[in-house]
Amino acid sequence: MNRDALEKAILDAHARHDMDDLVRFYTIAGDDAEAEQDIDAACFYLTHAFVFALEAGCSEAKALNKRLAQHGRANLIEL
């Protein structure tokens, strides 16, 4: 998914209040930024994914927390 399509998908997911899609699309954005070695941007997106995952009770929250902790952006929490 190209950046423009991803940004549109994120905005659409926000408009629909679709937590699963928000987790998915913010994680993809984080993955893309991480692949580009832009750790600040990656952690920005992954933090959003993590917050939405927590709010929605998604199982992805644990892995997202671990990734953020590996970058020094969060403490590991027990989920």
CB atoms within 10 A of CB 26: 24
Mean pLDDT over 35-52 rounds to 98
For the chain, the structural domain boundaries read: 3-70
Tokens of 9: 């998908």
CB atoms within 10 A of CB 29: 23
User: How confident is the model over 17-31, as pLDDT tens digits?
Assistant: 999 999 999 999 999
Q: Which residues contact 77 (CB under 8 A, 6 or more apart)?
A: 65
Whole-model pTM above 0.85? yes
Q: What gap in Å lies between CA 24 and CA 72, rounded to an integer?
A: 22
Mean pLDDT over 27-49 rounds to 98
Q: Are 74 and 68 in contact (CB under 8 A)?
A: yes
